[in-house]
Amino acid sequence: MNRAVLIAGPTASGKSALALRIAAQLGGSIVNADSMQVYRDFRVLTARPTPEEESRAPHLLFGDVDAAEHYSVGRWFADASRALSEIEQAGRLPIFVGGTGLYLRALTWGLSSMPPVPETVRAKIRGEADSVAAAELHARLAARDPATAVKLRSSDRQRVIRALEIFEATGRPLAEWQASPGKPLIEPGQAISVFLAVERTELRRRIDARFDKMLAEGALEEVRAFAARKLDPALPAMKAHGAPWLMKHLAGEVSLETAANEAKADTRKYAKRQETWFRHQLPQFKWLAPREALEETLLRRM
Is residue 234 classed as helix, strand or coil in its secondary structure?
coil
CB 5 within 8 A of CB 192: yes
Q: Which pLDDT belongs to residue 233?
A: 87
Residue type, 257: E
**3-class SS shares of the chain: helix, strand, coil, % to 5:** 55, 10, 35
CA 55 – CA 239 distance, rounded (Å): 28
DSSP string for 26-87: HTEEEEE--TTTTBTT-STTTTPPPHHHHTTS-EESSS-B-TTS---HHHHHHHHHHHHHHH
The vertex-68 CA angle with 63 and 72, nearest 5°, equals 70
**Domains present along the chain, CATH in parentheses:** 4-111+182-301 (3.40.50.300), 119-178 (1.10.20.140)
Q: Which pLDDT belongs to residue 275?
A: 96
CA 260 to the chain's CA centroid: 21
CA 91 – CA 113 distance, rounded (Å): 30
CA 45 – CA 240 distance, rounded (Å): 8
* Residue-by-residue pLDDT tens, the chain, 302 positions: 689 999 999 999 999 999 999 999 999 999 999 999 999 999 999 999 999 999 999 999 999 999 999 898 989 999 999 999 999 999 999 999 999 999 999 999 998 777 778 989 989 998 999 889 999 999 999 999 999 999 899 988 988 999 999 999 999 898 888 777 688 999 989 999 999 999 999 999 999 999 999 999 999 999 999 999 999 888 999 999 999 999 999 999 999 999 999 999 999 999 999 999 999 999 999 999 999 999 999 988 86
Count Cα atoms within 13 angstroms, Cβ side, for 15.
Answer: 29
Is residue 92 classed as helix, strand or coil in its secondary structure?
coil
Beta-bridge partners for 138: none
- Edge-to-edge, what's the strand order for the sheet holding 59-60? 59-60, 28-32, 93-97, 4-8, 191-196, 286-288
Q: Which residues of 182-206 are buried (b: 16+ CB within 10 A; e: fewer)?
A: eebbbeeeebbbbbbbbeeeebbeb
Give the N- to C-terminal CA distance of the chain in Å, as an integer.
9
CA 241 – CA 188 distance, rounded (Å): 29
Q: Which pLDDT belongs to residue 251?
A: 97
CA 247 – CA 231 distance, rounded (Å): 13
Q: Which pLDDT belongs to residue 133?
A: 92
Q: Which pLDDT belongs to residue 131?
A: 85
C-alpha dihedral (234, 225, 97, 103), degrees to nearest 10: 10
